[in-house]
């Protein structure tokens, strides 16, 4: 006889004698525990993969926000410099106009 559960777990298991109830019970328990451990390890791996993915996504999002903040700061600084240059240029133009009017 061969065990269907054992085949589904990818390891061969053949019984040469007809199993007694005790043997069948022990075999059933072993297979259940093996399947339980296998499923538990699979769930742990899945949880770990999900945690890593979430962590990576969070890190990427944080980096994007910091890049956006730096770009916004740079833009604000650039605008302030442009406004200052325009103001100084206008004031210089006014002074030049006053000098021409006096002459």
In angstroms, rounded to a whole number, what is the distance separating the alpha carbons of residues 83 and 79?
6
**Which residues lie closer than 8 Å to 54 by C-beta, 6 or more apart?**
none
Hey, is 17 helix, strand or coil?
coil
Using alpha carbons, list the distances in angstroms from residue 36 to 8, 10, 14, 21, 84: 14, 15, 21, 22, 71
Question: For residue 16, what is the DSSP state?
Answer: S
Model pTM? 0.42
Q: What is the pLDDT of residues 22-68, one digit of tens each?
A: 666 666 766 666 666 665 667 677 888 888 888 888 888 999 999 99
Q: What is the pLDDT of residues 12-21, one digit of tens each?
A: 444 444 456 6
The set of long-range contacts for 42-51, using a CB threshold of 8 Å and a minimum separation of 24, is none
């Amino acid at each position: 006889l061969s065990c269907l559960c054992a085949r589904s777990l990818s390891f061969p298991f053949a019984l040469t004698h007809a199993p007694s109830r005790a043997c069948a019970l022990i075999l059933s328990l072993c297979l259940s525990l093996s399947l339980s451990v296998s499923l538990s390890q699979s769930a742990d791996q899945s949880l770990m993969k999900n945690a890593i993915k979430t962590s990576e996504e969070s890190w990427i999002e944080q980096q994007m926000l910091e890049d956006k903040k730096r770009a916004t700061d740079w833009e604000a600084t650039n605008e302030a410099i442009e406004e200052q240059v325009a103001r100084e240029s206008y004031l210089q133009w006014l002074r030049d106009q006053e000098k021409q009017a006096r002459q």
